[in-house]
Copies of this chain bind each other. A is one copy, B any other.
Amino acid sequence: MDAVRIGVCGVGRIGHLHAENVAKSIGKAELAAVADPIRSLARQVAKDFRVHAYAEPSEMIRKEKLDALIVATPTPTHVKVVETIAKARLPVLLEKPIALTMKDADRIVSIVNKTKIKFQLGFNRRWDPSYTKAEGMIARGEIGRPLVVKTCARDPQPPPDEYIKQSGGIFVDECIHDFDVALWLMKHPVKQVWATGSTLVYPQFSKYGDYDNAVAVLQFSNRSMGIIEGSRTSMYGYDLRTEVLGDQGQIRIDNWKGDSTRLWTKRGTLDDQYPWFMTRFAEAYKREIGGFCDYVAKGEMSPVSAEEGREALRVALSARESARSKGPIELKTVSESD
């Protein structure tokens, strides 16, 4: 197959990065066009990559001969954009979270199921070398049966107020990555979630019923456990770690960066930290595009399906509900594996 011709919808921070990665995936992908309702933004990005700019995905689909789309528009628009793409029967890579409500998530799952379009959700950890390696090790039984998964995701600064307001809150916006990681690594649905949060540093979170630090404790259907910690107050840099305790060993994904320079002085030894997730996941975002192109070209099962996105959202929303109601929430699962 020739390079996959891709149109990118939404070229804000992540959409722009996707466009760039597509443009650089020579031989595999080809950036065909970009669309963004903010026309000046669309035009600027289009100019950088020498492609056409559109305001509306529908127009871009009509005028460009696209093989696939990447969608990085604001979450509340996901249903509408996916609908448009599904009508054109085109494959789509949709940024996380799948939606902000279970209702919207269900609509996307239903669209995908009805139209049978290829659908992949944008959970970047699924493509990070450390995470994929860990997943493989667990799948090969190197730590035996997984018992406890612990994740920690800490952002170095809070998002802007406008973003907080419409983000769905820390569980839906930040921890959803880790809920997905937990579900992906533990291979069982979540049966119960208990969560709590505090606003300790940035009062603006309280205004929107959100927290700057939060924790959710998961119980999976097989009684294994999950401890999910999220923070917006990590002054020392972006800090992302995951560990799985199995009945034969442990896997830890730590936060060490590729740069291994270390300074030793009287004060001690000093390492740098990751400044931000864009650095941490630069490689993963590239692999994600590559994986999507393979999927588009060879038609396998979606690497990250709509159902998986819906499931992570369900845990996130339950966590938010638990934090509010101050009690544990039971999740009813349609198909529990045990």
Interface size class on chain A is 35 or more
User: Nearest B residue to A142 by beta-carbon distance?
Assistant: B263
- What 1/0 mask marks residues of chain A from 127 to 151 whose CB sits below 8 Å from any chain B CB? 0011101100100001111011010
> Quick one: which of B133, B215, B261 contacts A251, CB cutoff 8 A?
B261
Inter-chain contacts of A143 with B (CB < 8 A): 263-265
Do B219 and A217 have beta carbons less than 8 Å apart? no
- CB contacts (< 8 Å) of A295 on chain B: these are none
Contact yes or no, B247 A235, CB < 8 A: yes
Given contacts A154-B245, A236-B249, A260-B130, contact A200 B223 (CB under 8 A): yes
Whether the Cβ atoms of B270 and A270 lie closer than 8 Å is: yes
Interface residue A27 (Cβ < 8 Å from any Cβ of B): yes
Question: Which single residue of chain B is at the shortest CB-CB distance from A251?
Answer: B263
**Which of A27, A265, A328 lies at the interface centre, i.e. has the most chain B CB atoms within 10 A of its CB?**
A265
The answer to whether the Cβ of A258 comes within 8 Å of any Cβ in the partner chain is yes
Cross-interface CB contact of A219 among B196, B233, B248, B251, cutoff 8 Å: B196
Number of copies: 4
The answer to whether the Cβ of A305 comes within 8 Å of any Cβ in the partner chain is no
In the assembled complex, A94 has its CB within 8 A of some CB on chain B: no
A53 to B189, CA, bound (A): 55
- The minimal Cβ–Cβ distance linking A163 to chain B, given in whole angstroms, is 21
Q: Are A273 and B269 in contact (CB under 8 A)?
A: yes
A154-B245, A257-B258, A268-B270 given; A200·B250 CB < 8 A: no
Q: Are A258 and B261 in contact, CB atoms less than 8 angstroms apart?
A: no
Can you show 7 pairs from A to B with CB atoms below 8 A apart?
Answer: A130-B261, A133-B261, A147-B231, A148-B231, A253-B260, A256-B260, A258-B258
